A and B are shown apart, each in its own frame.
Chain A
Amino acid sequence: MKRFDIVGHRKIWYSFSSLIIIAGLICMFTKGFNLGIDFTGGTLIDLKFEQAVNINDVRKTMDDYGLGNSQIQLSGKSNNSLKATDVMIRTKDLSQSERQNIMSGLKQKLGNYKVLREEKVGATIGRELIMNAVWATLLSWLLIIAYVSYRFEFKFGLAAILALVHDTLVVLSIFSLTQKEIDSSFIAAILTIVGFSVNDTIVIFDRIRENLKLHFRRGGDIEELANHSIYQTLTRSIYTVTTVLVTTISLYVFGGDTTRDFAFALIVGFAFGSYSSIFTATPLWLTFREYSEKRHAQKRINANAAK
């Protein structure tokens, strides 16, 4: 059976990835992200009413307090677009008494409820969180590139990190495009994806390294060797990404509202992490290798010409 030449078609994969990332970047700069109150600061009130309430009534009540522009979201029983029992309100940072006023107002106008969740986060915490997240991500990249360069070689490390940057950008792009909410657990999701994706990449690199030692000395086509290594580890890649996706999808479907966006980030990240190990990291390593060979060859020619 003739196998599909994966690394030979690398221009296709590069363009596919670039397309998503460019679309995402445009979206990031125009629409930005839907940042949760963890990052922006603000107040969140999540209530479960005894009787389904109308979204317009909720908005009207909020308007009485000058907060008609709050983000109001319905879910739960008898969920059509206008009426439901679960109401989540996100608004600017309210003082405790302001919030209490609003909550008693809602009770008076719309009936009795149970409090599911109440959160109030100051804006400074959000800024700290973002900075910590950025530093954490960069630091983990640095440590991983150091480790991979130490265990393999720099070209492998660089390719692995670029694949990670790719995965991170894709997840960010998709969160910007879908405008799904980003909260503090998103950082955990990104770093887990980083861990998983590099894990997946290393399995393939490890096989390439082994094959290089065993076979390449005897001569052979480097692209063929890369393809061969990918196919040798392909069953494992598919099985592993399947088990991880099965567990995260079960978390997404059954895990409840609070972990849903977190699970969504993981699903996207794992899927692309697995994709990037095969279609981004390995071709990138080849590209780097070819580039440095060409440079060496050029040097040799120059040296010869100089003689």
Chain B
Amino acid sequence: MKRESFLKLAVVVIAVIAVFIMFIKPLAFSIRQGLDLQGGTHVVLEGVDTPQAKVNDDAMNRVVKIMENRVNAMGLTEPIIQREGQRRVIVELPGVKNPDKAINILGKTAMLEFRDEDGNTVLTGTDLKDAREETDQQGQNLVSLEFSPEGAKKFAKLTEENVGRTISILLDGKVLTAPRVNEPITGGKAVITGNRSLEEAHNLALLLRSGALPVKVKIIETRTVGPTLGQDSKDKSEFAFTIGVGAVVLFMLFFYRVSGFIADISLMAYVLILLFALKMLNATLTLPGIAGIILSVGMAVDANVLIFEHFKEEIRSGKTLRWAMDSGFKRAFTTIFDSNLTTIIAAVVLFFFGTGPIRGFAITLGLGVILSMFTAITMTQYLLKWLIASNIIHNPHLFGASLFTEKAVKK
């Protein structure tokens, strides 16, 4: 039994240290990095209501699609384009070389309208489903249009009322083309003919298809972080992390000796598990996120400090190591639970109210508290049990039990 416990302890300790040394860096660097760390451009777009087109869910989804097209056309790697809230779209472009150009392309308002001769806007970009260039049997280049069910109805009405007249198609208020209506078109499909080169037809189709936003959109926020600053922030936070963790490890060793060492092993396991969880959750590591991790390391040892303080008290009252350890864990548990739950409450509120990097911080903090509770209670407890069972240490001094005691243990 003695030997078995010692073996278990040794295996876990050596395994944690080895895994920590070997994998901490590759693991940390394989987590997706935010723009503040790797450099890049962050753009927030907001849909704006106009009399012609109101912002709605469908329109904003189309804005996302169109932004994806525009970003893909720029040939950037790993862009993130996502909706936020009712009327916002966030575009993240890592490592973009020319941010101004990118912002220009994204910010093109490009709102599409179909107007009758009296200048009434009848259809907008929302109604258009697709536009393609084609060549017919006579070798004429044309642009074929396909409308959404709603759009098809409107277009049918428009063409019925305007046979022989022209309809203008405007992009950003500029007339792209003004075809004449030859007959009512009810099937939801139409073609625009005219003397165009294939390239002109292609460009027109492209503008109609992906250049046109269903609603007016404006850029409300842009942030660009240069690669120099990104690298600098990364190096500095890595250094801060090393110093912070190192200090906590030494601190625990100094004040709690052997149990401090065990707590340090749990702390290493905690950092590994946290990074692994972040990777699995596909989280993005930002500067505030790293701050959250560094901070959680400081807070992670709190549970162990609480347990060890109870343990010291029990030792002082004359209990055996084993008994003292057990009751230390038991007594500390409610305190740890109550106190950590309040931090989790704050993290949850932060998650639901925060945006972007603040959310990242909330995730690392909340996850950190939960995981650290697990390692600090479960893992430390097992390791300490094995340590005591292996019977190699008897002196309570080695558990830091008499550093700040006022009175020696009385038998």
Contact = CB atoms under 8 A, between A and B. Distances in A.
B343 interface: yes
B393 interface: no
Given A246-B248, A246-B251, A258-B36, A240 B302 contact: yes
Interface string B302-340: 100110010001000000000000000001001100111
B295 A117 contact: no
A145 to B, nearest CB: 10
Interface residues of A, number: 68
Contacts of A239: 251, 255, 305
B243 to A, nearest CB: 4
B44 to A, nearest CB: 8
Interface stretch (A4-12, A51-59, A184-192, A282-290): A184-192
A151 interface: yes
Given A195-B346, A247-B297, A263 B291 contact: yes
Given A136-B354, A248-B298, A114 B339 contact: no
Contacts of B103: 96
A261 to B, nearest CB: 11
A235 B168 CA distance: 79
Interface stretch (A26-34, A196-204, A215-223, A294-302): A196-204
Interface residues on B, range: 35 or more
Contact of A185 (B229, B288, B305, B352): B288
Contacts of A255: 236-237, 240, 291
A120 interface: yes
Interface in A159-200: 184-185, 187-188, 191-192, 194-196, 198-200
Contacts of A198: 339, 342-343, 346
B229 A139 contact: no
Contacts of B302: 199, 236, 240, 243-244
Interface stretch (B153-161, B217-225, B272-280, B376-384): B217-225
A203 B340 CA distance: 10
A243 B301 contact: yes
Interface string B333-369: 0110011111111110110111101100110010000
Nearest to B239: A254
Contacts of A262: 288, 291
Given A96-B103, A120-B221, A143-B345, A243 B291 contact: no
Nearest to B251: A243
B345 A195 contact: yes
B244 A203 contact: no
B220 A236 contact: no
A157 to B, nearest CB: 11
B306 A259 contact: no
Contacts of A203: 306, 335, 339
Nearest to B313: A232
A291 interface: no
B353 A139 contact: yes
A250 interface: yes
A153 interface: no
B229 A117 contact: yes
A293 B28 CA distance: 56
Interface string B195-238: 00000000000000000000000001111111011001100110
Given A118-B224, A202-B342, A254 B243 contact: yes
Contacts of A248: 244, 294-295, 298
Contacts of A46: 229
A75 to B, nearest CB: 12
Contacts, number: 210
Nearest to B221: A121
Pick the most buried of A124, A195, A258: most chain B CB atoms within 10 A of its CB: A195
A270 B76 CA distance: 42
Nearest to A118: B224
Contacts of A21: none
B353 A256 contact: no
A54 to B, nearest CB: 22
A1 interface: yes
A235 B404 CA distance: 9
A206 B353 contact: no
Given A240-B305, A246-B298, A259 B342 contact: no
Contacts of B287: 258-259
19 contacts: A116-B229, A118-B222, A121-B220, A136-B349, A144-B345, A144-B346, A185-B288, A191-B350, A199-B302, A206-B339, A239-B251, A240-B299, A240-B305, A243-B251, A247-B297, A250-B247, A251-B291, A251-B294, A256-B232
Given A119-B222, A195-B365, A243-B298, 7 more contacts: A117-B226, A136-B349, A144-B342, A206-B334, A247-B295, A254-B240, A255-B240
Interface of A: 1, 46, 48, 96, 100, 114-122, 124-125, 132-133, 135-136, 139-140, 143-144, 147-148, 151, 184-185, 187-188, 191-192, 194-196, 198-200, 202-203, 206-207, 210, 232-233, 235-236, 239-240, 242-248, 250-251, 253-256, 258-259, 262-263, 266
